[in-house]
Amino acid sequence: MAQQLPLVIVGTVAFDSIETPFGKADRVIGGAGTYGALAASHFTKGIGLVSVIGDDFPEESLAMMRSRGIDTEGIQRVAGQESFFWAGKYHLDMNSRDTLETKLNVLADFDPVLPQAYRSPRLLMLGNLTPSVQMRVLDQMESRPDLIAMDTMNFWMDIAWDALLETIARVDLLTINDEEARQLSGERSLLKAARKIAKMGPRYLIIKKGEHGALLFGDGEIFFAPALPLEEVCDPTGAGDSFAGGLMGYLASQPQITFEHLKQGILCGSALASCTVEGFGTSSLEAVTDEVLQDRLRVFDRLTRISLG
């Protein structure tokens, strides 16, 4: 039997054009799969990335991924078509943005077919995609991963409710933001929302609150991780994907999946997300060294530690 992949990530590999109060980046590489796999690669090698691209996606970007331990065999290249493209403009507060353009291109007909080696990974991360595509991947699993994580968004709650619930019922960890948790559960209180979402299936729930940190629910416990206070947010694109990728990469590097490891993984994900937002596109995430990462983890530790007797 071939060696088991520690982690498979399903998500977009794409181009983004980004405008923020600090500048512009035109057609830089992006996508949830790209950010997630780059973040995860800080902790583990042998990450299978499942995605779809067009003729236009540069071979050197794939080579860059491979040099970081990301397997690109799962990225289908569709001849004669263009890669998924998103253009957006962030408002001055950086918490909201307008989508200027979305071209689905190759994503419109994306039918993920997993290479054989990808069908029994230890961990699986389903990035934010149509629930039917996420389920298509689940259906190809030949053994149950130790943890299946799933990201989604309000858009699928609006247009694909039943398929979304069906997918959520099959995963162990759901990551959504606070407004999405409220929409999914119909509860204003996040405590009540978490309890309702647990009944939908996932053992663990992470509620992402951006600059306000993240909450982890599960095993009868709650954990709160702050976000790092930053000098400057240059470009928030990919922060959530870096967070999820960092978390999954950390978990893949650990022998067990426990609540305690999830807590530490959230701090790793937050640390990487804090790096991502300091530059445009994937530039600052690509530049992260182990030293930078360890420094940020130490800041987290100091940020919440009480040392009175």
Does 144 help bind its own copies (rule: CB under 8 A)?
Answer: no
CB under 8 A: which stretch of 53-61, 138-146, 230-238, 280-288 binds its own copies? Answer: 230-238
Q: Measured from the CB of residue 303, what is the shortest distance to its own copies in angstroms? A: 5
Give the single-character DSSP code of 106: G
The burial of 96, by beta-carbon neighbours within 10 Å (0-12 exposed, 13-18 middle, 19 or more buried), is given as exposed
Q: Between vectors from CA 82 to CA 77 and to CA 83, what angle results, nearest 5°?
A: 70
Distance CA 121, CA 147 (A): 10
Of residues 157 and 297, the one with the C-beta less far from its own copies: 297
Distance CA 217, CA 220 (A): 7
Distance CA 115, CA 137 (A): 11
Cα–Cα separations (whole angstroms), residue 243 to 163, 274, 278: 25, 9, 14
CB under 8 A: which stretch of 28-36, 155-163, 209-217, 282-290 binds its own copies? Answer: 209-217
Q: Measured from the CB of residue 275, what is the shortest distance to its own copies in angstroms? A: 15
Cβ–Cβ under 8 Å, residues 127 and 151: yes
Q: Using the rule CB under 8 A, which residue among 7, 37, 94, 248 binds its own copies?
A: 94
Range 178-207, binding its own copies (CB under 8 A): 188-192
Q: Measured from the CB of residue 19, what is the shortest distance to its own copies in angstroms? A: 17
Does 171 help bind its own copies (rule: CB under 8 A)?
Answer: no
Task: Extract the runs of DSSP E, i.e. beta strands, from 202-266.
Answer: 204-208, 214-218, 221-225
Q: Using the rule CB under 8 A, which residue among 45, 170, 196, 209 binds its own copies?
A: 209
Does 264 help bind its own copies (rule: CB under 8 A)?
Answer: yes
Q: How many chain residues bind its own copies (CB under 8 A)? A: 35
Positions in the binding site for its own copies (CB under 8 A): 92-94, 188-192, 209, 212-213, 215, 221-226, 229-233, 260-261, 263-264, 267, 301-304, 306-308
